Amino acid sequence: MTLAIIGGTGLTQLSELNITGRQTLTTPYGDPSADYVTGELNGQQIIFLARHGHPHTIPPHKINYRANIWGLKDLGVTKIVAVAAVGGITADMAPARIAIPDQLIDYSYGREQTFFADDLDEVTHIDFTHPYTPSLRQQLLSAADSAAISIVSTGTYGCTQGPRLETSAEILRMERDGCDLVGMTGMPEAALARELGIDYAALAVVANWAAGKGAGEISMEEIAQHLEAGMSDVLNLLNCLISAS
């Protein structure tokens, strides 16, 4: 198994990673967000990629998702844990909590959604009934249990376009649709991993209440505080996941 961790807002690098190398790749789909960092964490070899670049400069709708995932496949990655900052919609999804979603709804648009677009021998469809790989999700759940970290073990992630945050009416619509969380990077990342046969699961860190779900306006200071608290648990969970592999 070669595990990759994709870090989102709040996780542009892994401070505990013993870095052994960096690889700059060019793919048939262009350049990835950043160099692929290889290293050891708890004695296991992993690959780390900063989704928004390092430093954090690429907005969600401008990320080259195809290049990112293609590059990981090219490096031999078979499992991806995607860390993402999200907004909480339903009552369980309070700020600083960690959720491991099991479903998603895609509201994004205009993004390159598939590798199966041009020069095809035949039209290709993937089964996306369960967008997150059940076996990898179970490994994350077991790691959270081993680390004694309280998490929300299911949930539906709604992927919006960004980079703006949502209106309160949009969040109410998403809640009616069944979304528990709102983020901007969950798609097409998950689908592209499925197309290339890479196991994929998400670790969602709730950075704030979604629009209209909390008191007052959403502030970047508030988001930063909650991410700092949540990312500490994420790192402990990842350490337990890697130790058990």
For residues 208 and 226, is the Cβ–Cβ distance under 8 A?
yes
Report whether 51 belongs to an annotated binding site: yes
Report whether 185 belongs to an annotated binding site: yes
Note the helical H segments in the chain: 65-74, 134-146, 168-177, 189-195, 220-244
Report whether 18 belongs to an annotated binding site: no
Q: What DSSP string runs through 82-106?
A: EEEEEEE-STT--TT-EE--SEEEE
CB atoms within 10 A of CB 239: 17
Would you say how long the chain is, in residues? 245
Beta strand pairing status for 3-7 and 151-152? unpaired
Report whether 209 belongs to an annotated binding site: yes
Report whether 64 belongs to an annotated binding site: no
Report whether 93 belongs to an annotated binding site: no
Binding residues for substrate: 184, 208-210
| Binding-site residues from annotation | 9, 51-52, 184-185, 208-210
Binding-site residues for phosphate, in ranges, read: 9, 51-52, 185
